[in-house]
Amino acid sequence: MPKRSGTPRPDETPEAPPTPAQAILDLAFARAAKVTASGKTRLERARSLTGRKIGRAGGMMLRHLAIARSPFRETEESYNEFMVRVLEARLGQGRLERSLRRVRVAEERIVRFRAEETRRLSKSGELPQIRNSMRRFYGRASSVIHEVDEDLALLAAARVMLRESPHLEADKPTVVVVGYPNVGKSSVVTELSSASPKVAPYPFTTLRVSLGHAEIGPTLHTQVMDTPGLVMRPDRSSETRSGLPPGLEYNAVEREAVTAVEATRGIVLFVLDPSGTCGWTLEEQTRLYERLQELYPTRKFVVAENKVDLLRTDSPNLKISCTTGEGLPELTQALEQELGGSPRRRERPVMPKPRVSKDR
Ligand SMILES: Nc1nc2c(ncn2[C@@H]2O[C@H](COP(=O)(O)OP(=O)(O)OP(=O)(O)O)[C@@H](O)[C@H]2O)c(=O)[nH]1
Ligand SMILES: [Mg+2]
């Protein structure tokens, strides 16, 4: 007979995976079903069996609820301030905290139910009472766990994000590469650091922050963070969601970049593309730069005009090309100076006048 593959036949409906709550309950009940009874009389055996089932099922539920919360304990190294901010930006303000709180309360309730039924059980003198204890515990614990199903799903998603996100070390110098989409941020990160983020000729190639390491600065260990493109939109600050700086509007991808700027405290390397091949004008890009400077007045900014092989302006900004390599040593030097020295005097950004390069 041919072997049956795991793929369902066309006439079969594939089974939906259990929800996080159901998965915990299935496991807890399956483990509880394996316990054995002891005792001389029928009553003693029934009491011991029920007591052990309640103990085993409750223990499994508590263990798995605690596992769901475990990556977010404050002592976890990977769960530092940066990740808290990134997760908040992705999941929604306060959502993670809320889910952690709700799961903790669920654990407390299960502990209480288990103690109550164990106490009742020791006083039960009849089989129906003993059976009721088990039914009651299973029923109450199941509804408590089902109530936190969405929280468990959110914690599971957050756990994956935590695992896949860059491990930023708070005490190491950081350069955050920011700018409009498609200006060459990921190309700059590739040139400066060990990272090789995806580079492509269309906007929003980068959707999540990522981290590379570079030998720049006094400690020769600098973290270089790539971010998704950020677009300056009309100021409708009253409509921005709470917790975000006013004056910019973000979608989920752009919010990731803003979080990177806010949560890293590093130098901001602002990449401009005067050639316009990114799809946005230099005026638009400069407005974003000015806005970021207003929002984060204490931060150090380094500005680099990329794609100088396509267009060279006569501004005094650093000029680089990731294609030819021009200006990259000077950029590294400028970053090195900022990483080792005191903040530069805050200057008004220079608005370069686009001019087609003569040496093209
Ligand atoms: N001619 C030229 N093209 C460049 C230069 N730097 C990057 N590019 C090209 O510009 C396009 C965008 O580069 P990316 O590095 O992906 O840009 P990005 O800013 O990270 O884009 P998003 O992740 O979408 O925000 C790619 O086709 C690159 O090859 C450069 O110095 N000169
Ligand atoms: Mg990119």
Name the nearest CA neighbour of 360 among 326, 309, 292, 320: 309
- Residue 145: how many other CB atoms lie within 10 Å: 26
Pocket test for ligand 1, best of 178, 187, 280, 288 (most atoms within 8 A of CB): 187
The residues facing 239 across adjacent strands are none
Structure tokens at 317: 């900004």
Whether 286 lines ligand 1, by a CB cut-off of 6 Å, is: no
Q: Tell me what pLDDT residue 140 has.
A: 98
Whether 354 lines ligand 1, by a CB cut-off of 6 Å, is: no
Look at strands 174-179 and 222-226 and give their pairing.
Answer: parallel
Look at strands 210-214 and 222-226 and give their pairing.
Answer: antiparallel
Task: Say how far apart CA 66 and CA 68 lie, in whole Å.
Answer: 5
Element (H, E) at 179: strand 174-179
Q: Tell me what pLDDT residue 226 has.
A: 96
Quick: pLDDT tens for 17-74. 899 999 999 999 999 999 998 989 999 999 999 999 999 999 999 999 999 999 988 6
Mean pLDDT across the chain, nearest whole number? 86
Q: Tell me what pLDDT residue 340 has.
A: 81
Tell whether the model's pLDDT for residue 205 goes beyond 50: yes
Task: Say how far apart CA 269 and CA 103 lie, in whole Å.
Answer: 41
Please, is 13 exposed, middle or buried when counting C-beta atoms within 10 Å of its C-beta (0-12, 13-18, 19+)? Answer: exposed
Q: How far is the CA of 227 from the centre of ligand 2 (A)?
A: 7
Task: Say how far apart CA 191 and CA 325 lie, in whole Å.
Answer: 8
Whether 185 lines ligand 1, by a CB cut-off of 6 Å, is: yes
Task: Say how far apart CA 264 and CA 173 lie, in whole Å.
Answer: 9
Whether 323 lines ligand 1, by a CB cut-off of 6 Å, is: yes
Whether 201 lines ligand 1, by a CB cut-off of 6 Å, is: yes
pLDDT band of 166, cuts 50, 70, 90: confident
Task: Say how far apart CA 142 and CA 236 lie, in whole Å.
Answer: 46
Say whether pTM exceeds 0.85: no
Closest ligand 1 atom, CA of 310?
Answer: 1
Structure tokens at 45: 């055996």
Q: How far is the CA of 296 from the centre of ligand 2 (A)?
A: 22
Instruction: Determine phi and psi for 271, rounding to 5 degrees.
Output: -100, 125
How many angstroms separate the Cα of 160 from the Cα of each of 68, 143, 156, 163? 11, 26, 7, 5
Q: How far is the CA of 256 from the centre of ligand 2 (A)?
A: 12
The one-letter code for the residue type at 21 is A
Task: Say how far apart CA 166 and CA 115 lie, in whole Å.
Answer: 43
Task: Say how far apart CA 210 and CA 75 lie, in whole Å.
Answer: 23
Whether 62 lines ligand 1, by a CB cut-off of 6 Å, is: no
Tell whether the model's pLDDT for residue 230 goes beyond 50: yes
Q: Tell me what pLDDT residue 359 has.
A: 43
Say which DSSP state 144 is in. H
Q: Is the dihedral of CA 336, 340, 345, 346 positive or negative?
A: positive
Task: Say how far apart CA 174 and CA 167 lie, in whole Å.
Answer: 12
The one-letter code for the residue type at 281 is T
Domains with residue ranges and CATH for the chain = 20-164 (1.20.120.1190), 174-340 (3.40.50.300)
Q: Tell me what pLDDT residue 341 has.
A: 46
Structure tokens at 2: 């041919």
The residues facing 302 across adjacent strands are 269
Whether 210 lines ligand 1, by a CB cut-off of 6 Å, is: no
Contact between 258 and 244 (Cβ < 8 Å): yes
Specify the residue with its C-alpha closest to ligand 1, atom 32. Answer: 307
pLDDT band of 258, cuts 50, 70, 90: confident
Closest ligand 1 atom, CA of 322?
Answer: 31
Task: Say how far apart CA 96 and CA 71 lie, in whole Å.
Answer: 12
Tell whether the model's pLDDT for residue 247 goes beyond 60: no
Contact between 271 and 184 (Cβ < 8 Å): yes
List the alpha helices (DSSP H) in 220-300.
252-264, 282-295
Element (H, E) at 301: strand 301-305
What lies within 8 Å, CB to CB, of 108 at 6+ separation is none
Ligand nearest to the CA of 204: 1
Pocket test for ligand 1, best of 190, 231, 280, 322 (most atoms within 8 A of CB): 322
Q: Tell me what pLDDT residue 345 has.
A: 39
Whether 187 lines ligand 1, by a CB cut-off of 6 Å, is: yes
Contact between 293 and 301 (Cβ < 8 Å): yes
Lowest mean pLDDT among 133-137, 196-200, 338-342: 338-342
At 310, is the secondary structure helix, strand, or coil? coil
Say which DSSP state 208 is in. S
